[in-house]
Amino acid sequence: MFNSYRVPEISVLELKTLIEDKTDFLLLDVREPLEYRIAHLQGKLVPLGELPQRLEELDAYKDKPVIVHCRSGRRSAQAVAFLQQHGFEDVKNLKGGILAWSREVDPTVPMY
């Protein structure tokens, strides 16, 4: 379903700056609902397996920056490649995922 490509990435510190600067972007969380309940960054939850069926929910963001994250960066990299194939031009993978966020930005976010 998804191909692995080398995808553009953004660091957790760069994401933190975007949030602090109130930049208009979509933070897309492609983990499962149970994972989201454990820890989240207030992103829009669309699990990776549901992405093809829910793609039109994201149409409003085709021309805006989209940052995709998961737990470690693997699933989100697949999602970035998929979104690129479907016309999303400014889409990046959060390098290291929520684990990196917890380590480098906010240790109160649970690691699991």
Distance, in Å, from the CA atom of 49 to the CA atom of 2, rounded to the nearest integer, reads 10
Known catalytic residue at 86: no
DSSP 31: S
**Which residue is catalytic, options 12, 58, 68, 70?**
70
From start to end of 1-112, where are the E strands? 9-10, 26-29, 44-45, 66-69, 91-94
Query: Which residues are marked as active site?
Result: 70
